Amino acid sequence: MKEPVLAIENLGVEFPTKRGVIRAVNHVSLTLHTGEKLGLVGESGSGKSMTLLTLLRLTPHPGRVTSGVLRYLGRDLLKLTPHEMRTLRGKDLAMIFQDPMTTLNPVYKVGEQIQESLKVHNLFADSASRSLWKRSQRAAERRRVYELMSEVGIPSPAERYEAYPHEFSGGMQQRAVIAIALSCNPQVLLADEPTTALDVTVQAQIMNLLDRINSERGTAVILVTHDLSLAAEFCDRIAVMYAGKVVELGSVAQVTGEPKHPYTVGLINALPLMRWGKSKPLEPIPGEVDLAHLPAGCAFTDRCARAMEQCRDQVPEKTVMDSGREVCCHLFSGGR
């Protein structure tokens, strides 16, 4: 297999708090290949969004990276200078944030905000003659904005270019955010719950758009979601995260069809499913996670129906099974 376009190796991120140190990302290792769609699934606080922010070197204060290597096409992102990282962020690595209402600036026109990324990365700096450089560059940028707006399904681009975010519906705002992310043809697209607060019909339209971008451009996508069924429909592989760790990783068929980790089983049992007109009773996972007071061993111990004595004081090691799937659980140590 070719070298991954993105590789996360043993990533750790901590936050000091009054209640103690919070390990938001705890020794996470993942790979992403060109054209692949990888899903990060788990409940709130599992470390999904923080993993994406750290990839872009946007870990919020006072968080700090304590371990790991982040490689983009072989380059360690954690060793790049701020200037070098800015040349990659938005151009090669782009992110769709989960709330377009807070992502878009309310006082600037939508078209100008899409165009901003083209200006920052000088995408058309060499396309104009010296005498008409500024005018030609602005014209080229605006044409590109019209193309992007059409590509993501925003009608009447010339008219909508002049609109402000509050004049767009929630779905159209999210399309504008996606247009910003796509403006410089990124190799990797990080999508942090891109369908949050959208109705079901618009959710389907946004996910179809991301799927088309992936298939037509070959853009690799990491999708963060708490919705396992959404990840199963969209992704090639799924990584299930709990308390900052990846507890199970495998193909969609493996993770959803034959889940191994008790937490993955719990997520699937908590899905509302319909079978032959009859609803299956939901089975919620008992308890809740407290990142400041985790057990010394497996973080899921207090909520796990299959917990053993060793789970409380021994941290489970990652087991790579014959099928290639990864599970971090004492039940499957030794590759069972």
pLDDT tens for the chain, residues 1 to 336: 578 999 999 999 999 999 899 999 999 999 999 999 999 999 998 999 999 999 999 999 999 999 999 999 999 999 999 999 999 998 999 999 888 888 899 999 999 999 998 888 776 655 444 444 567 778 888 999 999 999 999 999 999 999 999 999 989 999 999 999 998 889 999 999 998 878 888 889 999 999 999 999 999 999 999 989 999 999 999 999 999 999 999 999 999 999 999 999 999 988 876 555 566 677 889 988 889 889 999 999 999 999 999 999 999 999 998 888 999 999 987 544
SS3 86: helix
34 with 163, same domain: the answer is: no
Q: What is the CATH number of the domain that holds 56?
A: 3.40.50.300
Answer yes or no: do 172 and 72 share one domain.
Answer: no
User: Quick one: 15 and 143 in the same domain?
Assistant: no
Among candidate residues 120, 153, 183, the one where a domain is terminated:
183
CA atoms within 13 A on the CB side of 73: 8
Among 168, 183, 198, identify where a domain stops: 183
Distances (CA, A) of 246 to 29, 88, 132: 8, 26, 53
Is the Cα dihedral 160, 166, 169, 171 positive or negative?
positive
Q: Is 178 found in the same domain as 232?
A: no
**Of 183, 215, 246, which marks where a domain is finished?**
183
Task: Compute the distance between CA of residue 314 and CA of residue 133 in angstroms, rounded to an integer.
Answer: 64
Structural domain boundaries, residue 177? 105-183
Residues 225 and 254 in one domain: yes
**Same domain flag for 133 and 73:** no
- What is the count of structural domains for the chain? 2
